[in-house]
Each structure stands twice: as C-alpha cells, then as structure tokens.
Structure 1
Amino acid sequence: MDMELFPWYQPIVETASGRIAGYEALARTRNQQGEVVSAGAYFSDPTIEPDERINADRHVRYQALSALKEIPGDSFISINLSPEWLQYVAEAGELPTLAMLEELQVDPSRVMIEITELSGDLDLICQAVSLYREAGFRIAIDDFGADFSQLDRVALLLPDVVKLDMKLLRDGLDNPRNASMIQVLGEMASRLGAKVLCEGVETEEAYFLALTCNAYYMQGFLFSEARSHALPSDHFNRQSTLLRDSYRDMALDSSTRSQWLAQKVSAELVGLREQIRAKGVVAGTIDLEHYLPTGQMLRFYICDRTGTQISPNYENRSGAWKINREPEGCDWSWRPYFIELMASDDIEQRLVFSEPYHDIYAGELSQTAALLIDESHILLADLRSGQVDGDLFHNGRGMRARSIDVL
C-alpha cells in the first residue's frame, strides 16, 4: 500500500444533552498538494485487489480504535464496514476488530459497526452481525431509506442505531413530500427499537427537520466537519441548547398559530353543520346557496355513524361547489380521525383533525376534520393544511388524530 491512509473523526452529537456521544472514523489521505481529502475513492476502486483494500481498511481501523484511549470513556467510535469485509467476517467466523480491541484493551461496547451496504448475501450479513453483536459491539445501519427494498433487512437485523439517508434530509428541506417521507422513516426506525442518527445536518433548518424525525443523534457540518482529534465532550453544549431553544420557541409559536386557525376553521364548520341541520340531511340535496367555499376548504361530505359515505363529495373548484358522486358508499370508519371522534365521551363538542397528509387530488398538504351533525350523521371536511396545522413542526407524522372543543 503506497498511499498514506489515516482516520479523521466527525463528532456525533446527542440531541437531548448536546454532548459528543461518539465519532465516526472516516478514512483520509493527502492529495498532491498535501491537503487532507477523503480516501473513499480508494476503497471503491475496482482496479485495486480486494485483499489490498481489506488490508488498508484494517490499517485505518486500527488507528481509529487506538484513538478510543484519548476520548472520554462514555464515547464511542463508529467504523464503516464494506460488503467485502462482512463477507470475510462471516466466512472466516472470526473478528479481527475484536483482536485489535483486546490488544488495545478497549471495551467492544465503545465501538459501533456501521454497515454501509445491505444488498449482499443476507445470510452472510446476518452471520457477521450476529458475531459482532455477541462480542458486544453496537450495530448501525447506514443510509436508511436510500433503498426501500432493504426495509425488511433492517427489521431483521434489529440495529442499535439507524442513520437516515443524508440525501433524504436535504431533499426534505425543499419538498414537503420528502419531509413527510423522512419523518415516517424516522418514526419507523424508532418503532424498530433503534436510535435515529441524522447525518448531513449542515444548517439550522436541517437540524429542525431532524428533530421532527426523532433524531437521537446529529452529525454534520452544523457542528463540525471531520477532525484529526477529539474535542471535549461538552464542546457543543451551548450551541445545542440555543438550537433546541430556537426550535421550541418556533414550535410554540406555530402551535399557538395553529390553534387559532383551528378555532377559526371550527367556527366555519360548525356554521356549515348548523345549515345542514336546518335544511335536513338528505343525501344529495344540501342547500349550499348561502355557504360559499373558502380558501381552506377542498371538499366536504357526510357519513353515517358506521362510516359509510351517504352523500356525494361537495368539492370546492375555483370558488364554486361541484358535486362528485363517485365516492358515495365508501367506508371511512377505519380512519383514525373517525375512530377518535366516535370514541369521544363528549362527541357532540368535539372536532377531530387528522395529521397532515398529501391530498392525491389537490396535490397539496391537507387535513381531514370530523364533526358530529346529529345522532345519525358525521360531517367530514378535507382542508388545506397550511390553513390549520401544516408546517415544519406538524408535517406528515403519520395519520394520528387530534381534537379540539368546538363549544
């Protein structure tokens, strides 16, 4: 191996405390100008023999593990393992990394094995992961969400940490749909029992989005690029406190604004309910002459108490009502907002909102509201979420329901 290879370390910050929980060891080399640059191209170069790449990987890993003696005892080192190395471990049935730790007298629980590729032989991956886990290592899955065909493998491996794909985080800043997707992935990882690590956190906006993804750890240039040495554990404490305070203040302001808007919408829906009550609920004959559509209303419709839609959709198209009978007879009883309303002890006083979702017809973030009309009928209305509760802090977190008192 003619190339000089060595590790640098990027801090991994614990969200709740701000302390440096660990470091990801990243292979580095020097270019012709003597500048420190990534050595990633070397390890992915198909012209270099696999054995040479494995030996180089082992060389860098030994240096990285040696650094554990220089960082606080409650911090860990995360090291990346290629598919070639996993295959070697599984076939050989031994752990050279464990031998390194024994030589260095370091506890394996301070090392996180970061699996960077799941598309290989599943049996070999499981064998390798089992060996590492039995030896006391932590297990992480990198780039979660980059390939949805790998979700079953993640569930099978039960990692301690899941790193959300950096590209998804960046895309989520530009597109609410992408934000919704990464939030769902974060929730999914948490439900699998894994701590979520968001990497590629470069801006405050990315940090705030990562918080909505259940991020237990953060990693990225907002805190630090990779360094040649470790930092004091509390180095980012103040920065983290200021970031959390800023998020909390914006979230509280957003929540207050959302509650005001929700009350405004509820007054409008109660008015519609009273108009329907006055005219009588007869499917297809609701008198809308004195109820003009507003900007937030996409459509409304009526169900019976079993959840069956008994009216057409009354759809707001360019400020005028249009009737769409296609959904008549659909059953919405399984929707969380319908169940939440029907389970309420004070059903006559409750207005239930769904979590925001992307309306497939309007192509925008929306919410559904459910309100009792009378003993036999339920009013459902699809609303533009930006008018009620749809922003960075409430965007796309599943389909759970929430309710407010309308009386």
Structure 2
Amino acid sequence: MDALEVMTHLEKVTPFFQPIFSADEHTIIGYEVLGRFWEDGEAKSLGPFFHDAEVPDEFHLEVDDLILRRALDRLLQSQCGTSLFINRDARLLTKDSGEHFLSVLHEYEEKGLKLSDIVLEVSQSGCSDELERVLRYYKTLGIRLAIDHIEEMSGHLHKFVNCSPDILKVSLQTLRKNTVNQTYKDFLYSLSMLARKVGASLLFENIEMEYQLQYAWKHGGRYYQGFYLHEPAAQFLNTRIQKDKLRRKCQEFIIHEKRSLEKVYRLAESIQLELQEITAKYAKKSLSREQLLEAVAKHFEGMCFRVYICDENGFELTSNYFKQDGKWIFQPEYYDKNWSWRPYFLENILRMRKNRMGLLSDLYSDIETAETIRTFSYPLNDREYLFIDITYEFLFEQDGLLY
C-alpha cells in the first residue's frame, strides 16, 4: 500500500471493529479497532502501511490518531457501552512518555468516554523501563492492558508481567493442524498457567476453525476472536449475535471433554487394580525391588517403556528398568538420582500417601526420549512409590488419551 496515497486521502481511512467474545456469557464484550482504507469500493487493511519501516513515524502516528478518534466517535454515538481494544506500537508510545495518546483519551473523556472501556494492546516485543513506567501509569487511570503477541516476548516477558496486564493475547495461527507439534501445545499450556498466576485473562485470536475454538476453550481462554466467529465489520454488532452458536459449541466441547476424562480415569482404575494384584504376589514371595520391576514390565509390556521405584523424597531406590530396541535393560546409573525438583512431584507423593491410590499424569514431553507420554505413579507403601512411564504408541492407540 502506497503511503503517499494514504496520506493524501485521509478521508478514506476508517476504523473497522473485530468483535471479541466471552467464554462465560458467549456475548461480545469488546472490539479490536483495525485500520482500513477504502479503495475501489473495498476496505483494505492498513497493516502493510503500519508495518512498513520506511514510512515516517509521523505518518504512522497521524493515521493512528485518525483511526482512534473516528473509533471513539462511533463508540460515543452508539452508546453501546462496549470496550475498545486499541493497538499501539510500544516504540511510538514512549516517544513522548505516552502523553500524546493519553491527551486524546482525556479529550474524549470530557465527552463521556470511560477510560475503563479502553484496552491498550501493546504490539511490540521489547519492554523498556520507560514503557513499563508508562503502562503502570495508564493502569492507575483505569486503562486496561493487553499484551499482544505474548508468544514472542521471551526475555521481556517479566517486565510486562510487572505491569499487571489484564489480558494476554495468544495467536492460534500456528494451530492450523490437529497434528501441531506437542511442544507448541505445551507452550500454550504454560501461558495459561502464567495467566492464572498473574491474574490475567487469556484472549485467543486468529480462531479460523472449530477445533481452534475448542483448543482455546480447553486451555483456559476467557475471550475468543477470529474469522470463525466473526470478521471485522464497519459497525458494532448485536452483542448476542453468536450466543446460540457459542453455547451449542461449548456444550459439545463439554461432552467431548467428559468422555476423554472418563477414558483417562478408566485407564487409571485398570492400572490400579492390576498393580494391586501384582504387588500382592510380590509381597507374598518376598521379591526384590528389581524383580518387582521385571514383573511389572512384563505385565504391562505393550504399554510402558520405563519403570522404577523412588522413596517419598524422590530418591531412586532402583535402577531404571528401560525398554531399549525391544529389550528390557537395567540402567544402574539412575540409582539414587533425585526427582523432587519436578513440578508436583512431592505434592503427588502426599496425595498418594493420603488416598492410597495411584495417579495418572497429564500429557508431557519426556526429557530423554522427547516423546509425549503419561506416567502412572503408585504407592507401594508409605515409603516406596512405583513409576510407570506409558508409551506414546499406546496412548495413540487408545482414543482420547492424547487429547
């Protein structure tokens, strides 16, 4: 898009509004403001204009202001009481310590704008000390903060977290195939845990297909955005426009999730009962720990690839009994290694001790094999705990266990 064409025809610049839907009420709770340029009767995205590094900052700022003002005019005229998500380049925002952007909002505040209806989306990967100060100040005024492209923040994430963001935006553009890399799924899961810890809500954007919506729902998304739900529009929409569809899809997701959880629980119960029989025989015959590992591995031959025993503090009491190239071998180098540093290890030990029941883990990537697995942990007594690592192949063959 030619920058001079845009700057000489500013009357063709207009805001479009992409609705953002809530998971709890299934209604529109706000809109992301997007820049469009009318050309040949078509509203074309201004993305190329804003992403062109050769366009002067002054041009970017002028068009940004124009879009913002026209969006705020629409908001006040509509009196619909919705929220506007406003994109701002962090670098431009801090050029004057954020004063210019704030002056526009104050101008409209005098006309009836509530600053709490503004969600500032910071769209830049770096977070300088100056940006952190500006964002903190905005927060004191009631402006809410959304961190865009959160998956690209890497080393700057801690600074954005220090600003107490209200919303973390996560793109599902990569999640276009059901066979997406498990590492990416694990990363998104980690983001959902981060959001929970810092008190922020997750907004999943670029939802273009139903399975992406299901993934967002399953992984703690409070807000949804994307063409699957609604494309950007020139006007505000009925807040209930997708309520029936979202409610129906949510019910389908709930049924599917329940079925998957039931399969996980049934597997755990089955392993529990079989281990009770094996360990009862082990106790009667006074077998060694290594002999117990051999018995367990033989019984669960088609399911597991590694078994070992730890004490209540996470120290291995045995070697690993490991299936390598189809043969079972002992790995004595693992004796006395400690695994208490693993997340939830000690918590799970205490749960097993209290309930006298085994636990089946969620899906995770094994450190050594890099495969997606689950682990079943089983209390032999108050001091010894058996761990059975279940293969990806077995989980894949059992419908619902890789979900």
TM-score interval, smaller chain: 0.7 to 0.9
For residues 275-314 of structure 1, the aligned pairs below 5 Å read: 275-286=281-292, 288=294, 291-314=298-321
Distance 1:320 1:271, change over 3 A: farther
- Which residue of the partner structure matches residue 275 of structure 2? 269
Post-superposition offset of 1:371: 1.5
Gap regions ≥5 residues in structure 1: 397-407
- Which residue of the partner structure matches residue 28 of structure 2? 20
- Which residue of the partner structure matches residue 214 of structure 2? 208
Counterparts of 1:171 and 1:151, CA distance in 2: 27
Distance 1:287 1:215, change over 3 A: closer
Post-superposition offset of 1:256: 1.6
* Higher helix proportion (structure 1 or 2): 2
Post-superposition offset of 1:153: 1.6
Counterpart contact for 1:170–1:206, Cα < 8 Å = yes
Counterpart contact for 2:18–2:31, Cα < 8 Å = yes
Distance 1:366 1:209, change over 3 A: same
Q: Aligned partner of 1:68: which letter?
A: L
Counterpart contact for 1:172–1:179, Cα < 8 Å = no
Post-superposition offset of 1:84: 3.8
Post-superposition offset of 1:385: 6.2
Counterparts of 1:93 and 1:394, CA distance in 2: 53
TM value normalised by structure 1: 0.87
Post-superposition offset of 1:200: 0.7
- Which residue of the partner structure matches residue 76 of structure 1? 83
Distance 1:94 1:143, change over 3 A: closer
Root-mean-square deviation (Å): 2.9
Distance 1:51 1:339, change over 3 A: closer
Counterpart contact for 2:373–2:389, Cα < 8 Å = yes
- Say if 2:155 is the partner of 1:157: no
Moved more, 233-242 or 207-216: 207-216
- Say if 2:185 is the partner of 1:182: no
Counterparts of 1:137 and 1:44, CA distance in 2: 25
Q: Aligned partner of 1:341: which letter?
A: I
- Say if 2:135 is the partner of 1:126: no
Counterpart contact for 1:109–1:136, Cα < 8 Å = yes
- Say if 2:251 is the partner of 1:245: yes
Post-superposition offset of 1:62: 0.3
Counterpart contact for 2:169–2:202, Cα < 8 Å = yes
Matched-pair identity in %: 23
TM value normalised by structure 2: 0.88
- Which residue of the partner structure matches residue 147 of structure 1? 153
Per-residue deviation, residues 167-201 of structure 1 (Å, max 9, x unmatched)? 45447862222112101112212211111111011
SS of equivalent residue, structure 1 residue 88: coil
Instruction: State the number of aligned residues.
Output: 393
From 176, 199, 202, the counterpart of 1:196: 202
SS of equivalent residue, structure 2 residue 61: helix
Counterpart contact for 1:12–1:20, Cα < 8 Å = yes
From 351, 367, 380, the counterpart of 1:360: 367
Gap regions ≥5 residues in structure 2: 1-6
